[in-house]
Amino acid sequence: MNKKVLVTGGAGFIGSHTVEALIERGYGVRVFDNLNPQVHGPDAEKPAYLHPDAEFILGDVRDRVALKKALEGIELVIHDAAEVGVGQSMYSIEQYVSTNVHGTAVLWDILVNDKHQVEKVLVASSMSLYGEGRYQCPTHGKIAPRPRPDEQLIKGDWQMRCPDCDAAVEPVPTDEAKPLDCTSVYAQSKKDQEVYSLMIGKAHRIPTVACRFFNCYGPRQSLNNPYTGAAAIFWSAIQNDKAPLIYEDGLQRRDFIHVKDLVEGKLFLLETPESDFGVFNIGTGKPTSILELAQTLIKLSGKDLEPNVVEKFRSGDIRDCYADVSKLSGLGFTSSVTFEEGLRDLVEWGALQQSVSNVENAHRELVQKGLVV
């Protein structure tokens, strides 16, 4: 008999693709989601794209009674439910901490104190808890510097420098052992989710895995949420004939992974006992600049636009971070979707969607809160 999986946040972007892949593998799937209006719209209903074979329960992870009911008969838990977005987290503090930390606490309180059949838990963590990634200094070798000081950024000097000799440094892959240095409320809340989950899971002998997602993109990512991933934000602007807005000089680098690859990586860890109680990066291992992302999307759209590089910075933003994927590939998994192939998939899907570009409003809100300089 196939195992039954609960996916919290399973109606969302990554969650819905996870549900689909689980059902294709023969799992029984139950979705628990609050249909957050910022993601699903003001009159949110169960999305049409959610797999018809998935059982759906409307509920909030902070609601102990509802979550306990959702856990009945469940053998595996994929905990994806979260408030997402670095910028917004710096002023919607209670919402982020309440959903991400308290919601995770409710889940574990049930698993520790009530009867259940759960055999393994996967927690969606994030690359954001690294802060800056790893860098290589010509003199001091591999380093893990703190964020660039505001005094440097105010001068428009975006380059990461060695804290010991002030030399310009180059990014190298960021491994799971890098010291964590959260630079936003979102990052800290994801760190708390991860630490509590691994600590409690180990103490109570419930196999637990923390999946540190890098920058995921693809079909079903909200095109109306100005705090979702960069690829969707840029495409929403382009679709509405607006130039993608880019902070700093656009040369900051990230690791963009297509949702298909990310989900395959998650389920590989779910099904691999050697992953138990581990922390794993899920990325491509390849750095791409934010400017290159915007330019590629514009090229694929066929429109005559130029990215709007504003030479301003947001509080909590980092310069470079891309994944060292050797730990995950050592168990046998590697990503397969190329960058342009993945963006083409996003564009083909996005061209059929209606979107409202709210990035200017989000930018103004950040400015008003003193979070853009």
Instruction: At 25, list the tokens.
Output: 């593998």
The residue extents of the domains of the chain are 4-368
Task: Clarify whether 96 is annotated catalytic.
Answer: no
pLDDT of residue 231: 94
pLDDT, one tens digit per residue, over 173-208 is 999 999 999 999 999 999 999 999 999 999 999 999
Q: Please identify which of the residues 130, 135, 186, 322 carries the catalytic annotation.
A: 186
| pLDDT tens-digit map of 141-152 | 999 999 999 999
Work out the average pLDDT over 43-51. Answer: 88
- Condensed to tens digits (0 to 9), the pLDDT of residues 244-298 reads 999 999 999 999 999 999 999 999 999 999 999 999 999 999 999 999 999 999 9
The conformational region for residue 339 under phi > 0 = left, psi -120 to 50 = alpha, else beta, is alpha
Does 358 score more than 70 pLDDT?
no
**Site of tokens 């989601």:** 33
What homologous superfamily does CATH list for 4-368? NAD(P)-binding Rossmann-like Domain (3.40.50.720)
Residue 299 CA to residue 40 CA, distance in Å, equals: 28
* Phi–psi pair at 285, nearest 5 degrees: 80, 10
Whole-model pTM: value is: 0.94
